[in-house]
Structure 1
């Protein structure tokens, strides 16, 4: 195996171990390989190692990379989505993790209807009220729940969060716990399941799994450190 496939297998092993520690089925947790800024060559290496699920932050990277790679890959948009790019990206992604406002949700719903699509979406929650991040506050989400459920084209999977970065991964735990508890409350209040939790990244995904993550977003631990130069 090459270095990338070794790293990918190591992450899979850590997911399995974390799930087993808390009595969960490892098969219930998906690994989203975050390939933002990395070249198509690196993604092909991950595909050769059996990875089919990839996440990108920017619409333009998905549009540039997807045509160069196998058609059976599943692309998730995990970065902020501007309304003027919804129509471009919807045909190319399986899921959007960053529905951070009711206005954006309505735009995606409307355009999905025009395109005949039913996109999977996660509602982004800004639990730390960070001005640098998008997303609903918990109170905004409670107030918007009925309106979100009324959007018939959206397949709402669950919630997503990005805790404030801290070198100590344990500092992420309260945010993951809060997101899970909020999900449970909203599912009961809204009368519809929200089965999925998108939370956890390279440095804290094991703690996210312990707190109920169903999809973890891992990039640098698989692909290496980023240079933050757009790669296609």
Structure 2
């Protein structure tokens, strides 16, 4: 169990920062969904913040998500935010509220197939590699139009928006242009919604850059270290 006092202080600071950044962009705290990134975090620490009203958890690994899933009630919203292999899709389609990391048509096709088997329409976000980083997954901005054109063929998925992971910079101002670029694309796609493309979420911003992301239009942020502190990875 992580130190409760530290978690409380972290959450208080994050909420204040979200509120301030949201107001700068003409919105309010309630307009922003905070996802607690809980990879490697113990269940007791997760339950501690759940009791405080946090019910959105983001996991990067299928095995960890499925294990933790059984420890919570159905009021928890599970977000899969890591790279998803096609052969693992079947293990999470009945558990997640949102898959953030759809980065290929092949993956979209598999999610559609598994969703059809359980009679669900799965909400997903398209992961976009705005900065064109070799080390990161995601489609490139110039591929979005073709991706969306193909996506309308899969009726058991619903595209709810975009997700991006900005390059890490000590000064988050340096990544502001990437957030701006994806927001502009998001707005254009939103004007041309189709039967299974309903743009609702812009998942941008992590511990180091979430305030800048919110100022540029993000309405969903993914915070791990900022809440739970630095993780010790084995």
Common fold by TM > 0.5: yes
Q: Does 1:198 align with 2:179?
A: no
Structure 1 residue aligned with 2:74, among 67, 71, 83?
A: 71
Structure 1's consecutive aligned runs of 4 or more residues displaced over 3 angstroms after TM superposition are 188-193
Q: Is the 1:40–1:69 Cα contact (8 Å) retained in structure 2?
A: no
**1:225 paired residue number:** 230
Q: Does 1:91 align with 2:97?
A: no
Structure 2 residue aligned with 1:173, among 172, 176, 185?
A: 176
Alpha-carbon distance in structure 1 between the residues aligned to 2:22 and 2:140: 29
Matched ranges for 1:107-126 at <5 A: 107-126=110-129
* Equivalent residues, number: 229
Q: Is the 1:145–1:190 Cα contact (8 Å) retained in structure 2?
A: no
Q: Please, what is the CA RMSD of the aligned residues? A: 1.4
Q: Is the 1:5–1:45 Cα contact (8 Å) retained in structure 2?
A: no
Q: Is the 1:146–1:190 Cα contact (8 Å) retained in structure 2?
A: no
Alpha-carbon distance in structure 2 between the residues aligned to 1:193 and 1:113: 19
Unaligned runs of 5+ in 2: none
> Shift of residue 69 of structure 1?
2.4
Greater per-residue helix proportion: 1
Matched ranges for 1:136-175 at <5 A: 136-175=139-178
Unaligned runs of 5+ in 1: none
Alpha-carbon distance in structure 2 between the residues aligned to 1:49 and 1:36: 19
Alpha-carbon distance in structure 2 between the residues aligned to 1:206 and 1:35: 20
Alpha-carbon distance in structure 1 between the residues aligned to 2:11 and 2:73: 19
TM-score (norm 1): 0.94
**2:46 paired residue number:** 43
Q: Which moved more, 1:154-163 or 1:67-76?
A: 67-76
**1:59–1:135 distance in 2 versus 1, CA, 3 Å:** same
TM-score (norm 2): 0.93
